[in-house]
Amino acid sequence: MNTNIELHPKILAKATKLSGLRTKKAVVNHALAEFVQRAEQKEITRLFGTVEYDPKYDYKRERSRK
């Protein structure tokens, strides 16, 4: 999909340098992918404290099972 956007040149230059990516397109795609990943991680944190667990479950015993 072609999209024309105006990017702040200093921020783009810094992002390019930090990422090591060669093109503006690669930098923008990388930034968008990271944004989505972080947003999804925030969604996962909402589950903390809502999942029931078995207090009798022994994870150490399960780990050594072969």
The CA distance from 45 to 42, in Å, is 5
> Can you give the pLDDT at residue 65?
61
Q: Which residue has the tokens 């060669």?
A: 22
Cβ-contact 31, 15 below 8 angstroms: yes
> Can you give the pLDDT at residue 66?
60
Tell if the pTM clears 0.85, that is, is over it. no
Question: Tokens representing 22?
Answer: 């060669």
Per-residue pLDDT reduced to its tens digit, 23-65: 999 999 999 999 999 999 988 888 887 878 888 888 888 787 6
